[in-house]
């Protein structure tokens, strides 16, 4: 008999961690992902705001795993999973498994608001981030040539939905891109016409963090000319105008959707019980109840701890991956499985230069120390020494020279040049994660 075959779907934080944890195990692993790289999603918003190049936060999966003997990588998209005959159907053929790990991660959640899905920008993958970068820079180039004041102002109004860490960090970075860098380069423009709005549906920013940090965050963002609207829920968007539930209308050519995440669409196709955000319900041992040889981790998995669902963040994925790897070995050896216990590692969010908030248990603080901590944590967590060097150089460069180096419009520019305004281009969708 051959070695137990393990198929891991997804090379994000969870999938990659599982594969690495099993490096010494007598198993044969196949890792499947539609991309050939692992993406460091927490810094994606910096690609969207011209701070980092996409290449700085992505690392080829084969490069990461080249010294691990018991794994083979397969770039393919999973189209369905046959849980009964135990095989994964992909765009490049079937893969049989003895044990399956679902680590396919999450995508942008528009909560059924189709107009936002069509015209807003998500921020979950590299294509999203590049699309946003191109779009922001295009808006400035076009506004610089636009004589119609109304149209120009809506080109210069950037609305970010979602006051969680992604929205907050994105708004802060947008503000610095505009006020530190672009302001020096567009003498044609009156920068009082530029507006950055951050919309949050609840009554405070960073609802998952302590309330005093919400206040500090709001203050730091306001200092950076970010307008914050709380209790603001988007009802509609046609590419030109954001309509809120209150009836308020905000003319804007740019809606960045950082308001929600859900499990990738494959979660809906495999016939397993789903919890909130489409996630696959797992037991405390991270197994699917009816198929104990199937485990799920990270954004793909739904697990409640003390009556609350675990959040869809990287630390959960990494911790679950470690536990899942141990449990797979135990399953193979016929041992009793371990219950997953989540240790909250604390939370960090950066607002910009010298500005961040941090919450570790009962310790809450904001300002330059939180910011420095944020820098260190993110550099350490990046995979690949070269990526670390590149990120450090880019950050140091931007910090000392008040710059954003990567403000390049690459690809997709034809659309803008031909139509000049979104109005003429209403049939195309801006989504990349469909």
Told to judge if 193 belongs to the known catalytic residues of this protein, a careful annotator would answer no
Tell me whether residue 24 or residue 148 sits nearer to a second copy (CB atom): 148
Kindly state the smallest distance separating residue 299's Cβ from a second copy, in Å.
21
Tell me whether residue 48 or residue 406 sits nearer to a second copy (CB atom): 406
Tell me whether residue 92 or residue 208 sits nearer to a second copy (CB atom): 92
**SS3 of 125-176:** CHHHHHHHHHHHHHHHHHHCCCCCHHHHHHHCEEEEECCCHHHHHHHHHHHH
Tell me whether residue 149 or residue 188 sits nearer to a second copy (CB atom): 188
Kindly state the smallest distance separating residue 312's Cβ from a second copy, in Å.
24
Q: Which long-range contacts (CB under 8 A, 24 or more apart) does 405-410 make?
A: 405/50, 405/51, 406/47, 406/50, 406/51, 406/52, 406/53, 406/133, 407/50, 407/133, 407/137, 407/177, 407/181, 407/182, 408/50, 408/133, 408/137, 409/133, 409/134, 409/137, 409/138, 409/141, 410/130, 410/134
Kindly state the smallest distance separating residue 304's Cβ from a second copy, in Å.
35
Q: Which residues bind a second copy (CB under 8 A)?
A: 34-37, 53-56, 58, 60, 62-63, 66, 72, 74-77, 91-93, 126-127, 130, 137, 141-142, 144-145, 184-188, 386, 389-390, 393, 397, 403, 405-411, 413, 417-418, 420
Tell me whether residue 6 or residue 349 sits nearer to a second copy (CB atom): 6
Tell me whether residue 186 or residue 342 sits nearer to a second copy (CB atom): 186
Kindly state the smallest distance separating residue 323's Cβ from a second copy, in Å.
29
Kindly state the smallest distance separating residue 125's Cβ from a second copy, in Å.
10
Kindly state the smallest distance separating residue 265's Cβ from a second copy, in Å.
14
Kindly state the smallest distance separating residue 177's Cβ from a second copy, in Å.
12
Tell me whether residue 74 or residue 227 sits nearer to a second copy (CB atom): 74
CA distance 97 to 25: 16
Kindly state the smallest distance separating residue 31's Cβ from a second copy, in Å.
13
Of residues 169, 215, 241, 414, which has the active-site annotation? 169
Tell me whether residue 69 or residue 426 sits nearer to a second copy (CB atom): 69
What's the number of CA atoms in the CB half-sphere (13 Å) around residue 252? 27
Catalytic residue numbers? 169
């Amino acid at each position: 008999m051959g070695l137990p075959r393990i198929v891991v779907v997804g090379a994000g934080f969870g999938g990659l961690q599982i594969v690495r944890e099993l490096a010494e195990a007598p198993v044969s692993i196949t890792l499947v992902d539609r991309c050939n790289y692992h993406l460091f999603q927490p810094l994606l918003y910096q690609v969207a705001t011209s701070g980092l190049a996409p290449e700085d936060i992505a690392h080829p999966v084969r490069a990461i795993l080249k010294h691990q003997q018991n794994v083979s990588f397969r770039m393919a998209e999973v189209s369905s999973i046959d849980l009964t005959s135990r095989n994964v159907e992909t765009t490049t053929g079937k893969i049989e498994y003895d044990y399956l790990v679902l680590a396919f991660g999450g995508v942008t959640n528009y909560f059924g608001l189709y107009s936002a899905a069509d015209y807003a920008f998500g921020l979950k993958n590299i294509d999203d981030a590049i699309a946003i970068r191109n779009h922001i820079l295009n808006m400035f180039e076009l506004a610089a040539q636009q004589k119609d004041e109304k149209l120009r102002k809506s080109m210069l109004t950037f609305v970010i939905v979602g006051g969680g860490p992604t929205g907050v960090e994105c708004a802060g970075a947008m503000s610095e891109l505009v006020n530190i860098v672009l302001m020096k380069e567009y003498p044609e423009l009156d920068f009082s016409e530029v507006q950055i709005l951050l919309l949050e549906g609840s009554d405070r920013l960073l609802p998952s963090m302590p309330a005093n940090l919400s206040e500090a965050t709001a203050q730091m963002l306001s200092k950076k000319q970010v307008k914050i609207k709380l209790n603001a829920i988007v009802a509609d968007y046609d590419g030109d105008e954001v309509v809120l539930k209150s009836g308020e209308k905000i003319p804007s050519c740019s809606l960045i959707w950082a308001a929600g995440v859900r499990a990738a669409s494959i979660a809906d196709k495999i016939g397993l019980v789903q919890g909130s955000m489409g996630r696959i319900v797992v037991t405390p041992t991270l197994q699917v109840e009816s198929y104990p040889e199937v485990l799920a981790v990270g954004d793909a998995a739904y697990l409640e701890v003390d009556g609350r669902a675990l959040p869809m963040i990287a630390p959960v994925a990494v911790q679950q991956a470690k536990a899942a790897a141990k449990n797979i070995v135990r399953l193979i050896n016929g041992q009793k499985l371990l219950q997953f216990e989540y240790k909250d590692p604390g939370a960090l969010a950066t607002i910009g230069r010298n500005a961040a908030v941090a919450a570790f248990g009962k310790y809450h603080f904001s300002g330059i120390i939180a910011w420095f901590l944020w820098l260190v944590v993110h550099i350490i967590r990046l995979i690949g020494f070269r990526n670390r060097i590149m990120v450090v150089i880019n950050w140091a460069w931007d910090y000392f020279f008040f710059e954003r180096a990567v403000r390049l419009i690459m690809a997709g520019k034809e659309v803008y040049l031909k139509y000049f305004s979104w109005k003429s281009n209403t049939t195309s969708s801006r989504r990349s994660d469909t």
